[in-house]
């Protein structure tokens, strides 16, 4: 029993060692590139099926073993997918990475819940000036949305000029002739979109609840008119944006995941 417990504890290590040793005669006896490649593939397959190593680590083994066996140089192994990229492709990749980071930052600026920094500032301000009651979801959005639009436009101008250059004639040209690759990509996107089918009931409920949450956040205390928070004037400061978020979260658990149906002797009627 003690031996069995040791085997259970070290089963991953033992599996790695025995797999490498049991399959080792394959490249030793045959002594050719095909056998060495097969040895690598079998080792990777066993490690993948048994998860003796994490899958991400197992995926790196060919990049290590192929150069050691002389099957493929490491440079060729690592740049297989990028050997045909042009300079414009590399610039586009850099541009898209920066666009994701910038858009996330700019989008987080527009709402209090966008980033934790906004929440910390709003809480600190309300604690420091409790009599003000001037920072809420609506007032924050009205102040930051115009600034976010300006920053977004300037960021687009800057990134476009920096990475792709400005060619207004090419950018805004109507009726441009599409290349074969563009037509194929458009067709694939169209097919994948059609596979999605119509909007499902669950997606409709999620959209409606999201819109309701946004409206409740805006209308709680917009500032220029009285909001629904005056209904709880008996308890000032108790109804906050967190109350709305908790209410919507509760509704997600209360609303049925499927449309209600009525069962009859003939079958099920929606």
Q: Domain residue spans in the chain?
A: 2-81, 85-176, 198-270
- Ramachandran bin of 199, using left for φ above 0, alpha for ψ from -120 to 50, beta for the remaining angles: beta
Nearest to 217 by CA among 77, 105, 113, 124: 113
Which ranges of the chain does DSSP label H, i.e. alpha helix?
2-9, 11-22, 25-30, 33-50, 55-58, 61-69, 74-78, 87-109, 116-128, 137-159, 168-171, 180-196, 201-219, 241-254
Whole-model pTM above 0.85?
Answer: no
pLDDT tens-digit map of 44-55: 999 998 888 888
Task: Categorize the per-residue pLDDT at 237 as very low, low, confident or very high, splitting at 50, 70 and 90.
Answer: low
Question: Is a pLDDT exceeding 70 seen at residue 172?
Answer: no
Residues 193-217: what's their mean pLDDT?
91
Percentage, residues of the chain above pLDDT 70? 85
Task: Categorize the per-residue pLDDT at 147 as very low, low, confident or very high, splitting at 50, 70 and 90.
Answer: very high
Cα angle 202, 208, 211; round to 5: 140
pLDDT tens-digit map of 49-92: 888 888 888 888 888 888 888 887 765 555 444 455 677 778 88
* Pairwise pLDDT comparison (149 vs 262), residue with the higher score: 149
Q: Tokens standing for 61?
A: 């083994």
Nearest to 32 by CA among 68, 70, 63, 62: 70
Question: Is a pLDDT exceeding 60 seen at residue 189?
Answer: yes
Q: Please return the burial class of 160, using the count of CB atoms within 10 Å of its CB with bins 0-12, 13-18 and 19+.
A: middle
pLDDT tens-digit map of 2-29: 777 878 778 888 888 889 899 989 888 8
Q: What are phi and psi of 26, to 5 degrees?
A: -60, -55
Mean pLDDT comparison of 94-103, 110-119, 130-139, 232-241, highest-scoring range: 94-103
Percentage, residues of the chain above pLDDT 90? 19
> What pLDDT, on the 0 to 100 scale, is given for residue 22?
92
Q: Rounded CA gap, 183 and 34, in Å?
A: 40
Q: Rounded CA gap, 43 and 17, in Å?
A: 11
Cα angle 153, 159, 161; round to 5: 100
> What pLDDT, on the 0 to 100 scale, is given for residue 112?
84
């Amino acid at each position: 029993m003690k031996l069995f417990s040791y085997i259970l504890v070290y089963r991953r290590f033992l599996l790695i060692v025995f797999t490498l040793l049991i399959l080792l005669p394959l490249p030793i006896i045959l002594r050719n590139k095909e056998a060495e490649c097969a040895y690598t593939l079998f080792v990777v397959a066993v490690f993948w099926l048994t998860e003796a190593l994490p899958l991400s680590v197992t995926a790196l083994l060919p990049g290590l073993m192929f150069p050691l066996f002389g099957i493929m140089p490491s440079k060729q192994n690592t740049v297989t997918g990028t050997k045909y990229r042009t300079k414009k492709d590399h610039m586009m990749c850099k541009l898209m990475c920066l666009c994701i980071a910038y858009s996330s930052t700019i989008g987080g600026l527009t709402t209090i819940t966008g980033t934790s920094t906004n929440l910390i500032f709003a809480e600190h301000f309300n604690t420091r000036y409790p009599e003000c009651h001037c920072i809420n979801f609506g007032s924050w959005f009205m102040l930051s949305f115009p600034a976010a639009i300006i920053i977004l436009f300037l960021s687009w101008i800057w990134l476009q000029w920096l990475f792709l250059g400005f060619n207004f004639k090419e950018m805004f040209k109507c009726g441009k002739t599409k290349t074969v690759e563009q037509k194929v990509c458009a067709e694939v996107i169209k097919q994948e979109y059609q596979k999605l089918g119509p909007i499902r009931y669950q997606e409709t409920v999620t959209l409606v609840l999201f819109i309701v949450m946004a409206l409740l956040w805006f209308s709680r205390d917009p500032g220029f008119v009285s909001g629904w928070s005056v209904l709880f004037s008996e308890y000032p400061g108790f109804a906050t944006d967190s109350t709305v978020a908790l209410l919507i979260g509760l509704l997600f658990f209360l609303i049925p995941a499927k449309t209600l149906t009525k069962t009859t002797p003939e079958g099920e009627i929606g």
